Chains A and B, each alone.
Chain A
Amino acid sequence: GAGVSQSPSNKVTEKGKDVELRCDPISGHTALYWYRQSLGQGLEFLIYFQGNSAPDKSGLPSDRFSAERTGGSVSTLTIQRTQQEDSAVYLCASSVDRDFYGYTFGSGTRLTVV
Chain B
Amino acid sequence: DQQVKQNSPSLSVQEGRISILNCDYTNSMFDYFLWYKKYPAEGPTFLISISSIKDKNEDGRFTVFLNKSAKHLSLHIVPSQPGDSAVYFCAASGGTASKLTFGTGTRLQVTL
Contacts and interface: CB of A to CB of B under 8 A. Distances in A.
Interface of A: 4, 31, 33, 35, 40-45, 48, 50, 56, 59, 91, 93, 98, 100-108
B98 A50 contact: yes
A6 B92 CA distance: 24
Contacts of A105: 43-45
Closest 7 CB pairs of A and B: A105-B43, A43-B102, A42-B104, A42-B102, A45-B99, A107-B43, A105-B44
B32 interface: yes
Contact of A100 (B2, B32, B104): B32
Contacts of B42: 107
Interface in B69-102: 89, 91, 93, 98-102
Contacts of A48: 98-99
Interface of B: 2, 4, 6, 32, 34, 41-46, 49, 89, 91, 93, 98-105
Given A105-B45, A106-B43, A107-B41, A56 B102 contact: no
A59 B6 CA distance: 21
Contact of A103 (B4, B46, B103, B104): B46
Nearest to A10: B41
Contacts of B32: 100
Given A48-B98, A100-B93, A101-B49, A41 B104 contact: yes
A79 B91 CA distance: 26
Contact of B103 (A40, A42, A59, A91): A42
A102 B91 CA distance: 14
A92 B49 CA distance: 20
Contacts of B6: 42
A43 B89 contact: yes
Contact of A56 (B4, B98, B100, B101): B98
Name, among A41, A43, A59, A104, the residue most crowded by chain B CB atoms within 10 Å (CB to CB). A43
Contact of B100 (A45, A102, A106, A108): A45
A35 B43 CA distance: 11
